[in-house]
Amino acid sequence: MPKRVLLGLLLACGLTASALAQEPKTGGVINAVIQPEPPGLMLAMIQNGPTQMVSGNIFEGLLRYSPKLEPQPELAESWSVSEDAKTYTFKLKKGVTWHDGKPFTAADVLFSIEMLRQTHARARNNLGQVDKVEAPDDDTVVFTLKQPFGPFLGIFEVGSMPMVPKHLYEGTDWKTNPYNNAPVGTGPFMFKEWQKGSFIRLVKNPNYHEKGKPYLDEIYWQIIPDAAARSVAYETGKVDVLPGGSVENFDVPRLSKLKDTCVTGAGWEFFSPLAWLWLNNRQGPLADKRVRQAIMYAIDRDFAKDAIWNGLGKVATGPSASTIRFYTDDVPKYPYDPAKAKALLKEAGYKGEKIRLLPLAYGETWQRWGEAVKQNLQDVGMNIETIATDVAGGNQKIGDWDYDIAFTYLYQYGDPALGVGRNYVSSAIAKGQIFNNVEGYSNPEIDKLFADGAVATPDSRRKEIYEKAQKILVDDVPVAWMLELQFPTITRCKVKNLITTGIGVNDGFKDAWLDK
């Protein structure tokens, strides 16, 4: 265990050796910003970003993941995989109790899985290969798969598979269960109160199953709707933690320079948000691969990174973020090359047809990015019209396939079978959704590669398959990959060990402590 913490520290915080030697101190209150106010805290039913961030303290999963996405124990103490890679046995930690004092057992795991299959779309998908789940005794859970499923050990994080108390939910109407408003989990912090529009208060779980943890007494999640006001709240000392994305990018350099302020981009390895442009492959000039390639050459992505994202993040090379398993950068490259873009457009016979660009209505940063991309594309002779719209209107247009180019960013969940394939396989094309295969790309070879990759064994075989898929996709440019986003977390330096895993702030504050 200490080794894990050490590793996490080195990778996540980059702290100096002297800091490592420090003993965690107990006590203190952390004020953190939560943006926007979550619609609810019942993680099994609501998976919004802010819900995950707050409820990651209340609930727990069987496993958590290091910044390198290696599984680590949480509610499961150990696990083993059978020879044929179809049976996974988890040994649960003993002596774990729910916040109301009842013991946590294998029956809760079985119940949670049953419930999540109905309430949690991604969990349902992740559990698709599971044939049966059994609990031979109170501390053991055995998953039997229909066929080997490579990413299986990657689906047990708290946001993907939170454990729900069976004794409070069984036999009730889940949607109206009173515990949705005062959730009960096994996590390091317990729900205390929620003043709507003001704050959510969590208090220390004195009976937490990791002795001595958590170190903090309380967490206040402050709800501040205005971005400028959130920055000011940090400057004036009202809050100590600004999770990634809670202040506008242009405020990051200013806030980073403040006294006693630490900034880290760590803690997003599991989600690995990747920004790209949906290119409508179905119609018009963008149906031509050469036009799509021209778009990749025409856009100055380094400029976007430096000027719009303040140098944070990384220029994407293809469909996988570099933190995702089986990532390869051995793919065709698209440097900023307007001349080449023009030549490709000419070759494709592009005649100045109007192309509609849909920026993402998530605030200033995305608006500026839309303007920069528009200018890049106009510079190579494309006729771009920006469509102004709000979030709902944009989602509607994307869902109806009523766009030519549209901004987006999606999480990748660590493994190509969980977060990458869904955006390119033809079975994931469905009108009305804003995730998955929105661009309408359809390639039987890619379909087959992703289908094979999910179930292939061993990992070296999966690697081969996914590398081939990445090469084909990067050449076809079904969407225009922009940046691997980084949402810096800004904290006072006295807040230690806030981010220790690849799930970051969403993984709860159990290791965090205040240096007074």
Partner 1 sequence: MKQFWKSMLRSPSGVIGLIILLFAIAVAVFGPMLFPNSPWRMVQRPFLPPFTLSTVPLGTDALGRDVFAGMIFGARVSLLVGLISTLVALIVGVPIGAMAGYFGGNVDDALMRFTEFFQTIPSFALAIVLVAILQPSIYSIVASIAVVSWPPVARLVRGEVLSLRTREYVQAAVVTGQSNTWIILREILPNALSPVIVLASLMVATAILLESSLSFLGLGDPNLISWGYMVGAGRTVIRQAWWITVFPGVAILISVLGLNLIGEGLNDALNPRLSREGR
Q: Which positions lie near partner 1, rule CB under 8 A?
A: 227-228, 248, 250-251, 253-254, 303, 307-308, 359, 364, 367-368, 370-372, 374-375, 378-379, 385-390, 393
> Quick one: 466 or 487, whose CB is closer to partner 1?
487
Minimum CB distance to partner 1, residue 458 (Å): 48
Q: Which is nearer to partner 1, 87 or 386 (CB)?
A: 386
| Positive/negative CA dihedral, 206, 28, 218, 53 | negative
C-alpha 420/C-alpha 409 separation (Å) is 12
Q: What are the φ/ψ torsions at residue 442 (nearest 5 degrees)?
A: -145, 120
Shortest approach of partner 1 to residue 273 CB, angstroms? Answer: 22
What minimum distance in Å lies between the beta carbon of 181 and partner 1? 33
Q: What span, in angstroms and rounded, lies between the C-alpha atoms of 229 and 364? A: 15
For partner 1, give the closer residue by CB, 166 or 374.
374
Residue-by-residue DSSP string for 41-73: --TTT---HHHHHHHTTT---SEEE-TT--EEE
Closest distance between partner 1 and the C-beta of residue 404, in Å? 15
- Nearest Cα to 184, choosing from 42, 75, 76? 42
Q: Give the span between the Cα atoms of 262 and 34, in whole angstroms.
A: 18
Question: What is the C-alpha separation between 288 and 282, in angstroms, rounded?
Answer: 9
* CB closer to partner 1 out of 112 and 249: 249
User: Using an 8 Å Cβ cutoff, are 65 and 72 in contact?
Assistant: yes
CB of 302 to partner 1, least distance (A): 12
Minimum distance, C-beta of residue 307 to partner 1, in the bound complex (Å): 5
C-beta of 404 vs 415, nearer to partner 1: 404
Nearest-angstrom CA–CA distance, 451 and 417: 8
Peptide bond into 458 cis (omega under 30): yes
Minimum Å gap between C-beta 371 and partner 1 is 6
Nearer to partner 1, 31 or 408 (CB): 408
Q: Name 218's bridge partners.
A: 29, 203
Contact yes or no for 492/240 (Cβ under 8 A): yes
The three-state secondary structure class of 103 is: strand
We find the least distance from the C-beta atom of residue 271 to partner 1, in angstroms, to be 26
Q: Indicate the residue among 48 and 261 with the shorter CB distance to partner 1.
A: 261
CA distance 227 to 229: 5
Taking the least distance from each CB to partner 1, the nearer of 58 and 398 is 398
| Alpha helices (runs of H) in 363-458, residue ranges in sequence order | 364-379, 391-399, 416-419, 444-455
